[in-house]
Structure 1
């Protein structure tokens, strides 16, 4: 239990420092650098830069990241053990033009991202985090992470006295009734830095004819006090801020919960928990100095943005991010060659794909004691009982029997319990990055994840012991894939 709590404590520190996908990737990058991984750039040639027995990573858009270690016995066309997960979660994002006010309140316009349980965002202490682009001293546009580490926003519910049906029929308009309040207009009018009343020239978007800009000033598109708060937080002049991508987050920290700390109470468990466990498993599998000796494979983790909205982006799972990386590593472009050089540019990519295996790691549904009737009677996952293998006959999940047997073998080595899950026939089924990557790569794939309650809520619940379970399962997968894969025969 002490070791399990240590795993969970490390995860809590990680997720509390990761309020956006950009922070998530930056923190993963820091973990990798501390573990001796070397950074690659996609835009560079990798010829001569990748050595057997070493560890590397690359990022795309600051919101997706791939990390891998190359076995010393790697040869072109060999297999890759892959764990894929995603960095994003359902949230509210600040609109491109967010400046709003109504009935004396300063408000922020927000846009829905993903399929969230939006009623859970009411009456929470909210703030903002994300990525800001600024002009640096050399005139370049560079990104900086921002996190305002105090509550500045609130989406208030309507009092029960004014809505007597709220407890039986809580409905709201997502466009007009989900705008957070950020202050009072009369306070803004009294602040010199806000330039007086709304509508004055400096906030109206008017510019001198000899200083044409395609867009109106950022202070005309967003609340000036919001711009001031961002500038103060990242330590730059307001005038240097050019644009940003900001999400709202709950300022209440993630923590242990339950009478015996058996739970984790948190936001963004779907899917930062599986992302963290995947990276932790990879790092731990490579921690020994001889970890890659006698290993004929590559061990790889790929964390994607935009899963919650279908993965259709340049940094999503349906992009070329992972296929392009696998091609470069497989030897297709000559990064690796046999001693006689005959196989570069031939079929090594196809050979690698068919010899590889992908674990699509995304959170699973735990049995809810108050709604047990919605679960299939023989498939009721519980928290702290190990990762849940997810199965769907219609390929919403990509699991099949060879994959189950492979994961069973690597779990047995570390004594990790596993569970099985299918949805009821009269229930809809979610999906993951698994089917998309399986069809893109032609790689054998299995879907699994830790069990949780309140998926897509602002505050979710999972089992604290399962952090260790998943981390050790992924570690065992990476360490034992070459040995186990060769014993499961399927054409």
Structure 2
């Protein structure tokens, strides 16, 4: 039996997304293929957004929001939202990474998030991320790189030299990857350093004037901070010269590709299931909900997906879920005028927007009305029961892999789920013929959290936490269910399609 197509498509997505920057770029490409138009926060949307339109935008290149506006939208109407995150625990290259010991070239790395760090040992690692480069016109531009070749490795110590039964490496002294041998570095010809002839030519071209790269440099040169051979690789993949590399944000990733496995292809073996699986499913759910040409004709809601960076470290950043990114977008959307959408003529839209525009009084409360009518599904991966550690799970709440999406509940509000949300999701699942599961941690066990509680408190929006079940969460190599991908996409598609109809039916004041 062939593996589920949705699982294979997700494998392609996650293999192309070693960093949040790549995940956003890959998601954006899928949205554009589905007819979404790119917009920018810094622009006015007054003459751009239309009922019936589909749009997306990014912040910092690592967080993305996409939405489709129902043709019957009016100011203050509901927004059906799914929120996920693009980041995963990883090792990040330090700003000064050049290290070495005992004849080896090593790379300084910093831990990001709560990873299972021992799982990073003895893996074929490489680097990926974004590089800021000079473009030759005085501008600094971002380029994404993904080095497919295994460059780095963190070797374990032979058992003959350490007989301890537990393995708990020191994150500061024992987590340095090796990149090569120092002897090869000594033979480096200095390719990364500009010749006097190059510097003279730059001065002739006006690049050596005051305030440019040949004057005072506030930081040490990149070639002093990083191994020249590593800089060569980075510059090569960014398709620029080494001297044009100004800075970068790079992380380590496992070069072993994600795949479908198991005797019946029931598993996905992959890095970054948490949480690129939910990012993929929410984006694809939105796209699937718009597949029919008239999907938005009778819709009075906005269908929105948001995937944020920095969830694994608390979401407190300009592009995290704790920022103003989503609230600012919702505020602008809440006052979007109603009107007929005619792709053939903007004039037909403009002719009716006066009638559909909110009055000053309506506009002043439209944002609050929208929030009170909206709903957020916080989509973050859940725990599958582990066959070797079943005692770690509450006896009546042991989610099964490929058993359907898991609703996550916590009395202490580590998750934001409550009964009205469960009722809503049940109806969405009934419409999509998707099974659901329930999860509660043991009373004597700690409980993780998500963007759900944070965003429900920030916005006052009704919220539910859910996720597909997986094993080995936060390992470099995680395990999920291949059938669960399709089930989550179908559930999210149903949520977008039915929310406008269901919303008035479960109102609790």
TM-score of Structure 1 vs Structure 2, range by shorter chain: over 0.9
Residue 205 (structure 2) aligns with: none
Contact 2:407-2:439 within 8 A present in 1 as well: yes
User: Once the two structures are superposed, what CA deviation does each residue of 1:195-249 show, in whole Å capped at 9, x if it has no partner?
Assistant: 89xxxxxxxxxxx997310011001011111100011122111110000000100
State which of 377, 380, 399 in structure 1 corresponds to 2:417.
Answer: 399
**How many Å separate the matches in 1 of 2:141 and 2:267?**
40
User: Once the two structures are superposed, what CA deviation does each residue of 1:323-351 show, in whole Å capped at 9, x if it has no partner?
Assistant: 00000000089998763641453100000
Residue 185 (structure 2) aligns with: 188
Q: How does 1:257-406 map to 2 (within 5 A)?
A: 257-331=261-335, 339=356, 341-342=358-359, 343-406=361-424
1:430 aligns with 2:461: no
**How many Å separate the matches in 2 of 1:183 and 1:366?**
39
Residue 203 (structure 2) aligns with: none
**How many Å separate the matches in 1 of 2:457 and 2:354?**
27
Tell me how far 1:95 sits from its aligned partner. 0.3
**How many Å separate the matches in 2 of 1:285 and 1:90?**
31
State which of 164, 172, 175 in structure 2 corresponds to 1:175.
Answer: 172
Secondary structure at 1:119 match in 2: helix
Contact 1:384-1:463 within 8 A present in 2 as well: yes
Contact 1:109-1:179 within 8 A present in 2 as well: yes
**How many Å separate the matches in 2 of 1:480 and 1:279?**
17
Residue 142 (structure 1) aligns with: 141
1:419 aligns with 2:437: yes
State which of 476, 479, 489 in structure 1 corresponds to 2:494.
Answer: 476
My pick for the range that moved more, 231-240 or 243-252, is: 231-240
Contact 1:334-1:345 within 8 A present in 2 as well: no
Secondary structure at 2:315 match in 1: coil
Contact 2:72-2:338 within 8 A present in 1 as well: no
Tell me how far 1:190 sits from its aligned partner. 1.8
Residue 58 (structure 1) aligns with: 57
1:214 aligns with 2:218: yes
Residue 110 (structure 1) aligns with: 109
My pick for the range that moved more, 388-397 or 233-242, is: 233-242
User: Once the two structures are superposed, what CA deviation does each residue of 1:91-125 show, in whole Å capped at 9, x if it has no partner?
Assistant: 00000110101110000000000000000000000
**How many Å separate the matches in 2 of 1:136 and 1:374?**
54
- Residues 95 and 389 (structure 1), Cα distance of their counterparts in 2 relative to 1, 3 Å cut: same
User: Once the two structures are superposed, what CA deviation does each residue of 1:349-395 show, in whole Å capped at 9, x if it has no partner?
Assistant: 00000000000000000000000101000000011000000000010
My pick for the range that moved more, 227-236 or 18-27, is: 227-236
Contact 1:334-1:344 within 8 A present in 2 as well: no
TM-score after normalising by structure 1: 0.95
Residue 224 (structure 1) aligns with: 228
**How many Å separate the matches in 2 of 1:337 and 1:188?**
69
Contact 1:332-1:348 within 8 A present in 2 as well: no
Secondary structure at 1:347 match in 2: helix
CA RMSD of aligned residues (A): 1.8
How many residues align? The count is: 477
- Residues 446 and 209 (structure 1), Cα distance of their counterparts in 2 relative to 1, 3 Å cut: closer
Contact 2:192-2:231 within 8 A present in 1 as well: no
Contact 2:96-2:226 within 8 A present in 1 as well: yes
**How many Å separate the matches in 1 of 2:141 and 2:98?**
24
TM-score after normalising by structure 2: 0.91
- Residues 100 and 378 (structure 1), Cα distance of their counterparts in 2 relative to 1, 3 Å cut: same
Residue 246 (structure 1) aligns with: 250
Residue 6 (structure 1) aligns with: 5
State which of 479, 487, 492 in structure 2 corresponds to 1:461.
Answer: 479
Contact 1:75-1:337 within 8 A present in 2 as well: no
- Residues 247 and 337 (structure 1), Cα distance of their counterparts in 2 relative to 1, 3 Å cut: farther
Contact 2:192-2:232 within 8 A present in 1 as well: no
Moved over 6 A (4+): 332-337
Tell me how far 1:169 sits from its aligned partner. 1.7
**How many Å separate the matches in 2 of 1:349 and 1:338?**
19
Contact 2:131-2:238 within 8 A present in 1 as well: no
Tell me how far 1:171 sits from its aligned partner. 2.3
Contact 2:270-2:477 within 8 A present in 1 as well: yes
- Residues 103 and 30 (structure 1), Cα distance of their counterparts in 2 relative to 1, 3 Å cut: same
Secondary structure at 1:211 match in 2: coil
- Residues 450 and 99 (structure 1), Cα distance of their counterparts in 2 relative to 1, 3 Å cut: same
Contact 2:74-2:336 within 8 A present in 1 as well: no
Gaps of 5+ in 1: 197-207
